[in-house]
Amino acid sequence: MSSSSMILVIISYETNNRYEIKNSHGQRIYFATEDTALCTRLCYGSYRPFTMRIHDLKGQEVITLKRPLRCSSCCFPCCLQEIEIYAPSGIPIGYVTQTWHPCLPKFILQNENKKDILRIIGPYFVCNFCGNIEYKIKSLDGKNVVGKISKQFTKIMREIFTH
């Protein structure tokens, strides 16, 4: 464990998340960085609002994702999650909205006019410390899998102390 990881474990300091976005061959094609204040990360944890900037390998911003603060409860689905997707110019180009389900994480990908385009369906159990977590991207009718989003398993201590 690196010294910076050890510091995170000792003081339970929540850092901005960083992600690598890879193609189906495992090659890195984009990277994403979260922009959220420390106080927000500490107070709201994984339900926090955030801005995520996605860059190409040359460092050019290609997409910005913004998620407002929402609560999360399978019993009271009044404030389901939504992410706004923006072009680098700041123009909205799409949305990802959560649809209520008591057990499965389900989302709809929408265009700039909020017209449904694709479905995103996660696994029943999303807190898996032993393997990758995969969300299937499906056609609207749910018959065809057109892609996937995979959270790759990392070191156990990092998983415990990050969201």
Across the range 55-67, mean pLDDT stands at 96
Tell if the pTM clears 0.85, that is, is over it. Answer: no
**pLDDT band at 30, cuts 50/70/90?**
very high
Asked if the model's pLDDT at residue 135 lies above 60, the reply is: yes
- d(CA 18, CA 52) in angstroms, rounded, equals 9
Mean pLDDT confidence for 20-42: 88
Contacts of residue 133, defined as CB under 8 A and 6 or more positions apart, other chains included, come to: 122, 123, 126, 150, 151
Range 96-119 average pLDDT: 93
CB atoms within 10 A of CB 50: 19
Pinpoint the alpha helices (H) of 15-143.
38-44
pLDDT at 80 over 50: yes
Residue of 77 and 93 predicted with greater confidence = 93
